[in-house]
Structure formats: structure tokens, C-alpha cells
């Protein structure tokens, strides 16, 4: 083996060791609650957009053979999120997704809709969790012990995995909505109030996936016919 190859392998091992240490540091809550059999991370995507659903993810990771490079989904590139999403779906013990659409968000408000999406995600798991690690919230009407962790998606691998599952699911939905409702740039803005999105709202009016309670400043108080 040449010196160049030895140096490459050495650097590769250093990177791996660094990532293993980072993953271990993000597993302190999982270690703290290791006596629970099924530890479930919970997070959501889409509380702030003007259009589209709010989506929650619930993920139970294996205790052995950790998935590396998990992090707050907002800190990852789209390509990295997609790769990790595939790993999560393949290796997690269970993944549940909960979706609440814009009509229900308007009726119940975004906070209550987020709680409902989280309850649906938990219900859609194939096994019942023994404890929930939540990103900064306590979910009402859930009979499972909960731990609320501020900025949990950056502190817990389970919550990070849930944030990736939720965001990738929602982003894919918004790309499909972009094909259904051209003119709002949903594929790029994912429903958030970008300049292109607001311009589309003012020119074309609201669609059936817009949140009426979020868009009054732009198109009045009604949803269009689209």
C-alpha cells in the first residue's frame, strides 16, 4: 500500500471516528432512557408555510448499529436528507407519518393541527412506543411518557430522524402540488411565503391547499376556486 493510499485511509478513519463521536453526543437522551424498549423521536415540518399540510414524523431507531450523519433536517442538504430518509425507512424499527391538511389547520389552528399530526404519526407506528422524545412540545391526549427537549432535533438522533422523515415527506408532497398548481413555485419554496409565492398568490389567487387563515394579507379572506 502506497503512502497516498495510507493517508487517504487515515483521513477516512478520522472522519468516521469524528462522526461516531458526534452521533454518540446526540444520543445522550437515548442513553438516559435506554431502559425503555422502544424510544420514539417526534418532530414536525410545515408549521410556518402559507400552503400545504403540516407533517409529523415518529421514528423508533435501532439501539444497535446507529445510523450516522443524522442531524436537524434544516442543517442538511436536500440530497443528504433524501439519502438519510432512505436509510431511516430501511433500518428504523418503525416509522409513522401524520398529516393534517390546510382545511383542518384553518379550523383548529396550527398548534392544535401540529399536535394532531403528531398523534397520527404515533398511531401509524407498527409498534407502540414506551417513551416519546419530542422537539420542544408536550403532546396532549397521549398516554405515553413524554420528554420535551428544546432544540431536540439537534440534540437527539431519534428526533433528528423524525425531522428528516417529516420534512422529506412534506417536501415531496409540495413538489407534487407544484405540478398540480403551477405559478406559485411550490417545488422550491415548499409553501413558504417567498417573493415568487406571494406574486403567484396576488396574480392567481389562492388554491385549495392554501391556508386561508395565513394568507389574508395577500388575497383577502377567501380561498379561490382552484
DSSP track, 57-111: EEEE--SSSPPTT---GGGS-HHHHHHHHHHHHHH-SEEEEEEE-HHHHHHH-HH
The angle, 0 to 180 degrees and rounded to 10, between the axes of the packed helices 78-91 and 157-180 is: 120
Q: Mean pLDDT of residues grouped by 10 in the chain (226 residues)?
A: 78 87 94 97 97 98 93 92 97 98 97 98 98 96 97 95 98 98 98 96 96 86 46
Q: How far apart are CA 208 and CA 177, in angstroms?
A: 10
Query: Does this model's pTM top 0.85?
Result: yes
Q: How far apart are CA 46 and CA 44, in angstroms?
A: 7
Residue 144 phi/psi, 5° resolution? -120, 140
The predicted structure's pLDDT at residue 220: 57
Q: How many CA atoms lie within 13 A of 218 on its CB side?
A: 25
The predicted structure's pLDDT at residue 126: 98
The predicted structure's pLDDT at residue 65: 86
- CA 36, distance to chain mean position in Å, is 23
Query: Which H helix or E strand runs over 15?
Result: helix 3-25
Amino acid at each position: 500500500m502506497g503512502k497516498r493510499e495510507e493517508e487517504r485511509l487515515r483521513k477516512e478513519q478520522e472522519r468516521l471516528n469524528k462522526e461516531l463521536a458526534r452521533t454518540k453526543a446526540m444520543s445522550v437522551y437515548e442513553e438516559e432512557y435506554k431502559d425503555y424498549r422502544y424510544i420514539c423521536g417526534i418532530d414536525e415540518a410545515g408549521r410556518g408555510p402559507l400552503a400545504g399540510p403540516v407533517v409529523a414524523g415518529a421514528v423508533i431507531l435501532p439501539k444497535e448499529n446507529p445510523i450516522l450523519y443524522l442531524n436537524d433536517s434544516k442543517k442538511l442538504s436536500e440530497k443528504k436528507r433524501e439519502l438519510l430518509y432512505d436509510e431511516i425507512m430501511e433500518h428504523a424499527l418503525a416509522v409513522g407519518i401524520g398529516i393534517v391538511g390546510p382545511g383542518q389547520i384553518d379550523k383548529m389552528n396550527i398548534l392544535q393541527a401540529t399536535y394532531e399530526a403528531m398523534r397520527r404519526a404515533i398511531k401509524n407506528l407498527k409498534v407502540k412506543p414506551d417513551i416519546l422524545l419530542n422537539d420542544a412540545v408536550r403532546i396532549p391526549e397521549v398516554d405515553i411518557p413524554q420528554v420535551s427537549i428544546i432544540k431536540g432535533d439537534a440534540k437527539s438522533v431519534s428526533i433528528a430522524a423524525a425531522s428528516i422523515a417529516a420534512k422529506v415527506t412534506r417536501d415531496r408532497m409540495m413538489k407534487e402540488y407544484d405540478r398540480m398548481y403551477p405559478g406559485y413555485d411550490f417545488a422550491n419554496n415548499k409553501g413558504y411565503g417567498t417573493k415568487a409565492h406571494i406574486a403567484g398568490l396576488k396574480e392567481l389567487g389562492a388554491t385549495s391547499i392554501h391556508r386561508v387563515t395565513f394568507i389574508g394579507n395577500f388575497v383577502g379572506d377567501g380561498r379561490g376556486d382552484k
